[in-house]
Amino acid sequence: MKLCRFNDARLGLVEGDLVYDVTDATRILPSLSWPVPAADLLIANLDAVVQEASTLKQGATTYHVRQVRLLSPVANPTKVIAAPVNYLKHQAEAIADGGKNFSDFETIDTYGLFLKAPSSVVGMGEGVEIKFPYKRTDHEIELVVVIGKGGRDISHDAALDLVAGYCMGLDMTIRGPEDRSLRKSLDTFSVVGPWLVTPDEVGDPNSLAMVLTVNGAPRQDANTRDLIFNVQNLISYASRHYTLNPGDILFTGTPEGVGPVEPGDVISISIDKLGLADVGVRAAG
Ligand code: MN
């Protein structure tokens, strides 16, 4: 199943070019009182939501997918985990740059993972805001994993059991000497969507082709089979350092071909099984 959030936080079931409004499926979610659990409420109850959404599809109002404004499928991630250099060819382009723009040359074995601010998360329909136009701001297409079941110290073999689904992602990045937690956590710098695709529709996450263009010009063209730390390894590694919560988002790293964008650009991305989307770039208002 493909689930999206759209317009003013409505819930949609996506089939082909149609979005079925199944917002009423959220009525099965438990009501909360303070302090709320550390989890995204919808993802924590995803199985029940999916079942309810299937029932509600018949008779639901439909929209063409291009008619709606797509938000992040995860509304309230407790954290956004991300992989630094995780493709050899991206490492090679960073090294070839000679320190002019790139500051990360080693892999996860050296750096470990890093965190992005949950407040940086937006959907594909919300677009990217360039806050500092005099700094180089790059696109990074990445496979995104959404954690469905929480846990810690998860083994490689059990890792995929935790997955609620997959999305496409843009890990927007300012190049420069500042800490990654600053350069990658600006508002709109974690673009996630266009919808959540459940694992049964994806199969092996370590064999997905991805393409990114800017204004139609090719930039990134790669496959998750070339991940240095594959999806299972990333989940296992992350879970040995952080307790994973339902709705946590994991950016798996970007392949070669990263480059700058500026206001007015349109970033188009596609990943096998996950869909395609156009993401607009604008100046900060
Ligand atoms: Mn990245």
pLDDT at 107: 85
Q: Which residue numbers in the chain have pLDDT < 70?
A: none
Other CB atoms within a 10 A radius of the CB of residue 206 amount to 17
> Cα(125) to centroid of ligand 1, in Å?
20
pLDDT at 113: 97
pLDDT at 100: 86
Q: pTM of the prediction?
A: 0.97
Mean pLDDT (the chain) is 96
> Cα(141) to centroid of ligand 1, in Å?
8
Per the structure block, which two tokens stand in for 134? 């005099």
pLDDT at 104: 78
> Cα(83) to centroid of ligand 1, in Å?
6
> Cα(44) to centroid of ligand 1, in Å?
26
pLDDT at 91: 87
DSSP 231-246: HHHHHHHHHTTS-B-T
pLDDT at 32: 94
- Which is nearest to 279 in space by CA: 157, 211, 191, 167? 191
> Cα(266) to centroid of ligand 1, in Å?
19
Query: Which residues 6+ apart lie within 8 Å of 93 measured at CB?
Result: 102, 256, 257, 258
> Cα(35) to centroid of ligand 1, in Å?
32
pLDDT tens-digit profile of 74-124?
A: 999 999 999 999 998 888 888 998 888 887 788 898 999 999 999 999 999
Query: Which residues 6+ apart lie within 8 Å of 51 measured at CB?
Result: none
pLDDT at 98: 87
> Cα(253) to centroid of ligand 1, in Å?
4
pLDDT at 267: 98
pLDDT at 285: 84
pLDDT at 264: 98
Prior bond of 35 cis (ω within 30°): yes
> Cα(117) to centroid of ligand 1, in Å?
14
